[in-house]
Amino acid sequence: MHSLFNRTDVALILDRIGSLTPQSVRQWGKMTVSQMLAHCSLALEVACGKKPNPRPWLSYLFGPLIKKRILDEHRGWPKNSPTDKDFVILHEPDFATEKNRLTALVSQFFEGGRDKCTQYPHSFFGAMAPEEWAMFMYKHLDHHLRQFGV
């Protein structure tokens, strides 16, 4: 299973982020490339414990079921999945700033390892072990990088 705790996987993700340009065009969804970079950075800030995110009541019912599906190695992340309102970027961020921010956060997550991973539960899936966070963040980044053709 791919993971942001795996050096090879991280190198490939960073290379793919490096391939993005301000002209990168989405294949589906609504975000611009700059909004996607900011969105992914927010998610990694949560995974690094920098930004706790509250759990809605529906997450207690459906979160554990969906978590299993998302973390299944053979399933891709569904296109046009709903985005938590706390992670929707409404403004148009600066591309270079967001690209650098995401690159730094991916590196920080990898370098921090299990000890620096958040202890907070995921806002929808609930309690997650560091290894689950690392797999989940890889899948999230992979999904959005595919969204922009890299």
How far CA 122 is from CA of 19, 28, 48, 102, in Å, comes to 29, 25, 11, 19
- Return the SS3 of 107: helix
Q: pTM here?
A: 0.86
User: Residue 61: what pLDDT?
Assistant: 65
10 Å CB burial of residue 29 (0-12, 13-18, 19+) is middle
Domain that holds residue 87: 7-147
Residue 149 has pLDDT above 70, yes or no: yes
123 inside domain: yes
Give the number of domains in the chain: 1
Give the mean model confidence (pLDDT) for residues 54-78. 66
Cα separation, 127 vs 36, whole angstroms: 25
38-53 confidence digits (pLDDT tens): 999 999 999 988 877 6
138 inside domain: yes
45 inside domain: yes
134-143 confidence digits (pLDDT tens): 999 999 999 9
Q: Where are the alpha helices (DSSP H) in the chain?
A: 7-19, 33-47, 57-71, 95-116, 130-147
Which tops the pLDDT comparison, 24 or 49? 24
